[in-house]
Structure 1
């Protein structure tokens, strides 16, 4: 069976995720010919020489767009294979096209359609007809992929919008209530010393609200533009780390925070954003880490093209939380059932690292949690 493949489809039509097509035939030459006929940039051809091999492939591969089954095969013929495919909840949705070199007996066709086939073709198969039929199912699969992506994006957007409303209605209410209470106390003209203390409370509540608002604005910027905007300039990451460590130590005088530096820590980055990243990582370590174990920040500039920083603390992260650790509003609940913070710190850290062209990984084992950030020495502004 030799085919002359039709002209390739224009590249503008090749979009979406990879489409999988299963071909089952006991003649190797037929498999090679069908593969050459249906091969495309976004089409993955799965080839099986028997019904048993086909079932193994279906177990290993999800979301097959089309299966071409040879009817006349030893041990397990195409009809028997189709019956097994249709009998499984996982594979019963796969469209089946039977291909046979047998006689044009209507009984065979009826039997094929009873087994769930969408078409029944006879060898030698017209190549243009087969390709056009296959492309219909490939296009349907691409559309399903596109709809699934759109549904996921809309679901995530709806979730984020709901969380934004929850933050505005709940989390910002706490510092605002503190400010209103202090304002009420100030109206009673207390003693000057108490005025000073009340003013400090107002400043703390205002700074807390300011951080929340900035975090929400960063989420909005990242969603609108795909990533945060940065302004790279020459800087020394070691000097910035020392400043952030001093601030964190001042806010947590009871905790032990170690800083280790080695190598050349100079590069072109957004100094303000990297300071925000370090403050978020260290603040997260202080908040969630085991109090009696030190928090460690290490900076390694030994490599020529990258700088690596690690923040580690005592305590672990639940395994089910690790895959979504950098998603927005992923917070830990305390014993009272309330979220500790907005759950935006690690999301913003991830956005800052991405904007610099770097990577961030989290690992939790042996009672220690470690975040590893790898930054190229030269970030390019978007």
Structure 2
């Protein structure tokens, strides 16, 4: 049986692992059949693993990883191809290897059923047609190369993302020291300034420093969220006390802010007070920034449900359908060409709420734009 004039096109290697040959396992108890398979399939870029029995094939699979295809003879003594396939399907490292059965028997529906039940992707009948064999093998070789390349690119992206998050965390952390000094200096300048112009200039420096500090905090939170290192300190707290803390800090920065409260029910729960204070701060800051200046921001705290805590932040106005679709996406302000922030506030809100086992929604209500946060009083991870 002479090899036909069909070759596998070379692939331009992109990494060291991409240069590794594609491995194909061939199992047949007849030496002449193994030689014929080798003559057909031995080409640059392919590595043939040949075994004369099922036991030898299992030994090869223990020594070799990342096998692209297995060509198994059905009729073999001691362990036939079906039994070998079932053993391969039972092991984690070999269960995903595509299997093509090679048989000399005519098409038997029961035998075909057993083969596909054992995990076959196809059958080939002897005598083998070289073009058919090479055509099928080529499909699985190409698929394997594509999967390998995709895996390598995913690993590279994962490494780049991790490096980016580490650099962002380090950079953000190191920026806080000179920023703190700048804010203290701005406060001193404001107190010592003579004249309205100097007072306004010092206040602008202070306001800009606060915005920068807020952005740095958001970058740090974003880095923790994306790297999976966000940790929560779940303790018993009162939701109203947490909301009061957030409002006091916000009104210190914006003395003219109008915020109205309404409360009801038992507001005790188990949560991370600092993270929830940040949720309040982000939602209130967002409402004050985009709401109508003559209308107050309304906050409603509801503890009437024995299992959940709920709070709603409302402001006058309306969101477009386009904005609603990507309300919680990160960096949306930057994509829109805005300069008021990083566009991370609502993204961080959703991540913090989800980390507590809760949910947050934003919508256009009868009284304007409203964000509703629902939290379990005792998150599942903190239960017991």
Return the match for 1:210 from 206, 213, 232: 213
Deviation at 1:236, TM superposition (A): 0.9
Change (3 A) 1:202 1:324: closer
Deviation at 1:180, TM superposition (A): 8.5
Change (3 A) 1:312 1:138: farther
Supply the distance in 1 between the matched residues of 2:347 and 2:89 (Cα, whole angstroms): 41
Change (3 A) 1:251 1:305: same
Change (3 A) 1:265 1:340: same
User: 1:341 corresponds to which residue?
Assistant: 341
Deviation at 1:300, TM superposition (A): 3.4
Contact 1:227-1:354 at 8 Å conserved across structures: no
Change (3 A) 1:99 1:377: same
In the TM superposition, what are the counterparts of 1:286-325 in structure 2 within 5 Å? 286-289=288-291, 291=293, 295-313=297-315, 314-316=317-319, 319=322, 322-323=325-326, 325=328
Q: Which has the higher contact order (CA 8 A, sep 6+)?
A: 1
Supply the distance in 2 between the matched residues of 1:154 and 1:321 (Cα, whole angstroms): 33
1:132-159 C-alpha deviation (Å, 9 max, x unpaired): xx8x999777655643543443454577
User: 1:6 corresponds to which residue?
Assistant: 86
Contact 1:234-1:267 at 8 Å conserved across structures: yes
Deviation at 1:181, TM superposition (A): 9.1
| Unaligned residue ranges in structure 2 (runs of 5+) | 1-73, 75-80, 101-106
Change (3 A) 1:302 1:12: farther
Contact 1:308-1:374 at 8 Å conserved across structures: yes
User: 2:123 corresponds to which residue?
Assistant: 99
Supply the distance in 2 between the matched residues of 1:112 and 1:238 (Cα, whole angstroms): 72
| Unaligned residue ranges in structure 1 (runs of 5+) | 40-67, 69-97, 121-133
Deviation at 1:231, TM superposition (A): 1.9
Supply the distance in 1 between the matched residues of 2:368 and 2:111 (Cα, whole angstroms): 56
Please, what TM-score do these two structures have when normalized by structure 2?
A: 0.54
The reply on whether 1:118 has 2:137 as its aligned counterpart is yes
User: 1:378 corresponds to which residue?
Assistant: 378
In the TM superposition, what are the counterparts of 1:171-182 in structure 2 within 5 Å? none
Return the match for 1:191 from 194, 202, 211: 194
Return the match for 2:158 from 145, 153, 165: 153
Supply the distance in 2 between the matched residues of 1:316 and 1:211 (Cα, whole angstroms): 24
Contact 2:165-2:226 at 8 Å conserved across structures: no
Supply the distance in 2 between the matched residues of 1:256 and 1:20 (Cα, whole angstroms): 65
Supply the distance in 2 between the matched residues of 1:205 and 1:373 (Cα, whole angstroms): 30
SS of 2:246 mapped into structure 1: helix
Change (3 A) 1:308 1:367: closer
The reply on whether 1:38 has 2:62 as its aligned counterpart is no
Deviation at 1:371, TM superposition (A): 3.6
Please, what TM-score do these two structures have when normalized by structure 1?
A: 0.54
Change (3 A) 1:251 1:110: same
Change (3 A) 1:270 1:173: closer
Deviation at 1:211, TM superposition (A): 2.6
Supply the distance in 1 between the matched residues of 2:112 and 2:327 (Cα, whole angstroms): 42
Contact 2:314-2:369 at 8 Å conserved across structures: yes
Supply the distance in 2 between the matched residues of 1:29 and 1:290 (Cα, whole angstroms): 74
The 10-residue stretch of structure 1 (254-263 or 361-370) with the greater mean CA deviation from structure 2 = 361-370
Contact 1:182-1:201 at 8 Å conserved across structures: no
Change (3 A) 1:191 1:366: closer
Deviation at 1:254, TM superposition (A): 6.5
Supply the distance in 1 between the matched residues of 2:99 and 2:364 (Cα, whole angstroms): 40
Change (3 A) 1:303 1:29: farther
Contact 2:246-2:281 at 8 Å conserved across structures: yes
SS of 1:213 mapped into structure 2: helix
